[in-house]
Structure 1
Amino acid sequence: MSILFDLIAKGGPVMIPLTGLSVATIACGIERTIFWVQVLRVEDKIAHDVLDAAQYSLDEATAIALRAADQPIGRFLLAALQLDYPEPETFHLALATAGEEEFVLMRKGDKLLETVIAVAPLLGLLGTVTGLIITFINLKIGGGGSSVDTSKAAGGIGEALTTTAGGMIVAIVALLIFRLCVTLQAKQVDYFSKVGCRLELIYRHIWYKRLKAESELSLENRAIANQSLL
């Protein structure tokens, strides 16, 4: 820990915002890691249980999705299942809208990481410039002779190199976290699309088709009843 503090001190004032960006990046990485571990650990089971239940009971499928409402896949499926026998277009729209809402939550932290990726190298470059300025100031060159304050000049060079390395390290870590999050988000878009399509097919071919047949039979029986009254 003392070595870390020494490096921050050698880097000069620019290391203060760089340290803040590094802390924010690490915190974001930890939060996103916890989020994705929880999502990936249970979503396959939730989707499998809901799709299996939906083939014989929409109420049971809705209950399973409701119990999993703390997970993105649960909220996604529940958005359509909780509707009261909607038209297929409405069912599809509910899934699409819920999916977009969940994808927004999955992109949490992306703006922070993008900012760190852009700003950290610039701060490192700023530290490089200020360090070189200090170095040149401490290179004392006189008219009749020259002298160099080597300790202060070395300090300026050390500050320049430390901030450059610090800015690059923070940006690289943020970029790795960001690219991993983007990859997981893209996979979730495909996964949600696949699960949503399967649920929509089940609804169209089993429940909406059955509901439509029952509605037509009811209309036919009503027509027969009216004819008998006449």
Structure 2
Amino acid sequence: MNFAEIMEKGGASMWPLLFLSILALSTIIERIWFWSRVLLKQGQVLNRIMDSAARSWEMTPKIARDYRRHPLGEYLYAPLKLNNPDPDLFHLALETAADDQLNTMRRGDKLLEAVVALAPLLGLLGTVLGLIKSLSNIQLSDLGTSSTAGVTLGISESLISTAAGLIVAISSLAFYRIFQALWFNEMRVFRKSGSDLELIYRQRWMALEDNRIPMNSNLETSETVDN
């Protein structure tokens, strides 16, 4: 059977299934393109920003700003663009940016979830409607005669919608699980890189605070001697 015959014999539920399959396919293609760009540049973004933070902190905001189009770069740039924040504010900026970027990465998941849930039900509905149509023409006197041959063919055709619904649902579910796995892995990368960057910043902050304390103490001592 060609595509037109499948759509015709599958019944009215095949059109909603076709619409769901187009939505799922477009979402899958867009997510594949998104994740391919994220994963290909992620190592470069992470290495450049973290190496700069460890060697020359003053250059780190500029390097992170150059990678703002990458989710990881935008995440790490969020606290770096602040003007000498205290460590608690630095941590809060990281958390807020992580929530924003991770939510963006889950775009399309709700649509795939809806397709996975609706496609089998639509397929089953098409089959039930096909069975009702086929069995409504059967009379008890026709059982065992050649007049029931068309009914058997109608029942087999009504199962096309169920098969189509399952194909759409299974395909969508497979890619949904793949995208979920990528998202969980990205969440671990965000947590690790954010913790490392925050640790470097806290060490730098403490070093600056230690340098300020002796200067203030010497100033107070000299004032006391003068008095």
Same fold (TM over 0.5): yes
Deviation at 1:97, TM superposition (A): 1.3
Residues 131 and 158 in structure 1, CA contact (< 8 A), matched pair in contact too: no
Q: In the aligned structure 1, how far is the partner of 2:100 from the partner of 2:202?
A: 24
Tell me the SS of whatever aligns to 1:55.
helix
The one-letter code sitting in structure 1 at the alignment partner of 2:4 is: F
Deviation at 1:225, TM superposition (A): 5.5
Range with greater deviation from structure 2 (122-131 or 77-86): 77-86
Residues 138 and 148 in structure 1, CA contact (< 8 A), matched pair in contact too: no
**Equivalent residue for 2:217?**
220
The within-5 A match list for 1:141-160 is 148=147, 150-151=149-150, 153-154=151-152, 156-160=154-158
Deviation at 1:217, TM superposition (A): 3.6
**Equivalent residue for 1:28?**
27
Tell me the SS of whatever aligns to 1:69.
coil
**Equivalent residue for 2:46?**
47
**Equivalent residue for 2:173?**
175
Q: In the aligned structure 1, how far is the partner of 2:135 from the partner of 2:37?
A: 54
Q: In the aligned structure 2, how far is the partner of 1:170 from the partner of 1:196?
A: 38
Residues 106 and 185 in structure 1, CA contact (< 8 A), matched pair in contact too: yes
Tell me the SS of whatever aligns to 1:13.
coil
- What is the aligned-residue RMSD (CA, Å)? 2.1
Residues 9 and 158 in structure 2, CA contact (< 8 A), matched pair in contact too: no
The within-5 A match list for 1:125-204 is 125-140=124-139, 148=147, 150-151=149-150, 153-154=151-152, 156-204=154-202
Q: In the aligned structure 1, how far is the partner of 2:147 from the partner of 2:138?
A: 5
* Cα-to-partner distance string for 1:70-113 (whole Å, 9 max, x where unaligned): 01000110011112222222211211111111110011111101
The one-letter code sitting in structure 2 at the alignment partner of 1:199 is: L
**Equivalent residue for 2:111?**
112
**Equivalent residue for 2:5?**
6
Aligned residues between the structures: 226
Q: Which runs of 5+ in 2 are unaligned?
A: none
The within-5 A match list for 1:11-90 is 11-90=10-89
Residues 130 and 158 in structure 2, CA contact (< 8 A), matched pair in contact too: yes
Q: Which runs of 5+ in 1 are unaligned?
A: none
Residues 11 and 126 in structure 2, CA contact (< 8 A), matched pair in contact too: yes
TM-score by length of 1: 0.90
Q: In the aligned structure 2, how far is the partner of 1:6 from the partner of 1:218?
A: 86
Residues 140 and 146 in structure 1, CA contact (< 8 A), matched pair in contact too: no
Per the alignment, do residues 108 and 9 of structure 1 end up closer, same or farther by CA in structure 2, a change over 3 Å counting? Answer: same
**In structure 2, which of residues 203, 207, 212 is the aligned counterpart of residue 210 of structure 1?**
207
Q: In the aligned structure 1, how far is the partner of 2:153 from the partner of 2:145?
A: 19
Q: In the aligned structure 1, how far is the partner of 2:17 from the partner of 2:195?
A: 46
